[in-house]
Copies of this chain bind each other. A is one copy, B any other.
Amino acid sequence: MGNIAACCRSFWCKPKNPDIRISLPAICFVWQIAMIILFGLFVRYDDESDAHWSEHKHKNNITSDIENDFYYRYPSFQDVHVMIFVGFGFLMTFLKRYSFGGVGFNFLIAAFGLQWALLMQGWFHSLDPNDGLIKIGIENIINADFCVAGCLIAYGALLGKVSPVQLMVLTLFGITLFAVEEYIILNVLHVRDAGGSMVIHTFGAYYGLTISWILYRPKLDHSKNLSGSVYHSDVFAMIGTLFLWMYWPSFNSAIADHGDGQHRAAINTYLALAASVLTTFAISSLSAKKGKLDMVHIQNATLAGGVAMGTAAEFMISPYGSLIVGFVCGIISTFGYLFKFSSPSLSQAILSVQLNQLVNTFDFEGNYAKRTPATQGGFQAAGLCVALAFGIVGGAIVGFILRLPCCWGDPSDENCFDDEVYWEVPEDEESIPPILEYSSHMVGKNTDMMSQSNYTVEQS
């Protein structure tokens, strides 16, 4: 397959032209207009967000406005919304010269993805049988945000190496695949995955990794200078990490059952996250000379507990069960980063799936008791296979599409990880390249050191 990829590369390759002046506006306009038309044809308010809710209330003997689902779920929705836009967005600002692209393209594709997700998930889950229309309320917009999370995880695997046009295509297909995959796993196989460990994270990670593998750039390693972080970009990324970490209890409880379900999901996730912080720090320190901690681990593996609790957040796994999940996941996830057997999210996917099984053994008092544990275990494994298949096969197809000779506007190898390609970047007197330019300019003017000094810098 690597052979085929190489073959295709030589056949298709043409000089990269990262001009997106026609393609990006075109894709944004056309797809947004398509959204408007499809929403016009298919999407309406549901009972609880419609002006006729007072009639609905009377019919269902609801005595108070506070019983509207909005009040059960809106605080959690807002937290999830922050995770999607600030959490994932700032997590991707860690590269030294790709912070605009990290947070900006995250913003663009999430804003598109959530619209498309409302439609796709609506067709599968929220179709009103009476009139064939999709009825949306607070739960739908939470689910749309969830759905987008899968594509943002995939974006993480491609950060700095693709154009916004490619990201839009990746998002369109990603949401579509996600909705189908989710329907099969949850509604056909009746697999349990409340917080989406399997449906969101496994799918998203493999989808992104497969695309990344297809779009592999063999020469990229030589231009490593921009693929790292600087001090303050790592602090920006901690904003993302912390908002993801703090609000993960809302992520896992947002669409749980009213009452004790949401309550327990939040507590379990809170505990699992706390435990994975300690084991992440432990493994990170253990693995480096003098025990120096690595920001990459802290920024990512601390979240493992939240990811892994996704499937089981609502279960009666008891508080110590949550701690065990977080304990194990922090370890596995940090090892994932250490041995690079994974992208920033693959190890989370793997462990979430394994925990998935582990966690079922804790589900002492689950109410899915119609199936025997063994049977349910088999279905969970089948669900995992479906998620993997959609991620890998879907990713392969989308990857090849994104390599078709077309006006994708993707950057050349030298331009990867560089905001200059797609953004008007301010003349930044604080960054090193212009400073060196100035300095060498000053020096060079009189002593003809210019070429040598530039050479010196490139060496260092």
Contact = CB atoms under 8 A, between A and B. Distances in A.
Interface string A420-443: 011111111111101111111111
A79 to B, nearest CB: 6
Given A136-B319, A423-B292, A428-B231, A324 B236 contact: no
Interface residues of A, number: 156
Given A136-B267, A239-B239, 6 more contacts: A23-B291, A32-B327, A45-B267, A115-B323, A438-B457, A442-B453
A104 to B, nearest CB: 6
Interface in A378-412: 409
Contact of A263 (B70, B243, B365, B440): B70
Copy tally for this chain in the complex stands at 3
A100 B295 contact: yes
Contacts of A447: 446-447
Nearest to A79: B78
27 contacts: A18-B290, A21-B286, A28-B282, A36-B327, A43-B319, A45-B316, A48-B263, A50-B264, A50-B316, A53-B260, A75-B75, A75-B78, A85-B245, A99-B232, A99-B235, A107-B242, A138-B263, A138-B266, A230-B426, A291-B409, A292-B423, A294-B423, A429-B431, A432-B435, A434-B460, A435-B435, A442-B452
Interface string A44-81: 11001111011001000000111111111011101101
Contacts of A33: 327
A384 to B, nearest CB: 26
A154 interface: no
B93 A235 contact: yes
B432 A432 contact: no
A204 B53 CA distance: 35
Interface string A117-131: 010000000000000
A12 interface: no
Contacts of A44: 318-319
A202 interface: no
B103 A278 contact: no
A62 to B, nearest CB: 9
Contacts of A22: 291
Interface in A343-398: 365, 367
A277 interface: yes
A44 to B, nearest CB: 6
A291 B21 contact: yes
Contact of A28 (B278, B294, B445): B278
A10 interface: no
Contacts of A39: 271, 319-320, 323
Interface of A is mostly: helix
A232 B430 contact: yes
A224 to B, nearest CB: 11
A2 interface: no
Contacts of A51: 260, 264, 316, 365, 367
A218 interface: no
Contacts of A24: 281-282, 285, 291
A186 B86 CA distance: 35
Contacts of A107: 242, 245, 277, 298, 302
B66 A67 contact: yes
A275 interface: yes
Nearest to A80: B246
B282 A29 contact: yes
Nearest to A49: B263
Contacts of A235: 93, 99-100, 103, 236
Contacts of A99: 231-232, 235
